[in-house]
Structure 1
């Protein structure tokens, strides 16, 4: 058990970082360009870039550069990132079952 606790804590730090869950959820459908994610997610380009770099460093996201003109860059989940699919889907199911939509609207209103 002493081995599990620090690893569990590290995993929770990664996936609970603000916006990471939404980014991972967005990427479950396949490779995405930065501009596509930026338009689909309610976060700034700077923050999205920061989170993608962090996820790439953790080995969860892969960045592929295509030598086209103009250069095309796509982000996708690595094997490590894909292994989060059941976790993300289970959190979505839990949220659908247990999170009241009014609580979400109240939280959004209070955090602005």
Structure 2
């Protein structure tokens, strides 16, 4: 069963970074992840999480938008990663850097399963 990855996918650089990291994971591990953007709504969470073996929430910053949306749907993640807590600087609308994508992807891959 694939891992469900929920991202905030916000408009700031760290929010965009969660989207880029999810896309990189989907490309590197085909079939290994199901990706849900938090703004898709709580109905989507219920459908995707119901059968998930594991749920990872990836938020861009400490606003934790994705984790909050998941909680609204009545679910808790198995793992929660925040880009700004793993060394990424939130910098408004700055472009996402490749090295930042790699850092977040590696953090997701290192989650104990």
Q: Shorter-chain TM-score category?
A: under 0.3
TM-score scaled to structure 2, two decimals?
0.27
Q: Give the greater-gyration-radius structure (CA).
A: 1
More strand by share: 2
More relative contact order, 1 or 2 (CA 8 Å, 6+ apart):
2
More helix by share: 1
